[in-house]
Amino acid sequence: MVLIADSKGRIASLELFPPGTSFEPEVDGARIILKRLAPEEPKRVLGKLVRREGRLMLDAPGEITAEAISKATREERDSRA
């Protein structure tokens, strides 16, 4: 199989490069090796909603602070960029 880049330097092959798949290039002399990157699973914090004193509250392991929420939101946004 021979692949030829277009005028913008792109190579297309649906069977080799499915849409949305990430690769890490490694240049080895005259060869270019593409390593397929495994998608990262998002970190999940499991909690459950419970009623306390007539209020619905989230019961999760550990302490939930404004800084922790900001950090988790930032990590989520950075992972999608």
Tell whether the model's pLDDT for residue 81 goes beyond 90. no
60: in domain: yes
**Mean pLDDT across the stretch 43-72?**
82
pLDDT at 65: 82
The domain of 72 spans: 48-80
62: in domain: yes
pLDDT at 27: 93
Q: Domain total for the chain? A: 1
Closest CA to 44 of 28, 61, 32: 61
pLDDT at 40: 75
**Digit-coded pLDDT (tens) for 16-56:** 888 888 899 999 998 989 999 987 777 776 778 889 999 98
75: in domain: yes
Query: Which amino acid would we find at residue 11?
Result: I
Instruction: Give the SS3 label for residue 41.
Output: coil
Which pTM does this prediction carry? 0.41
42: in domain: no
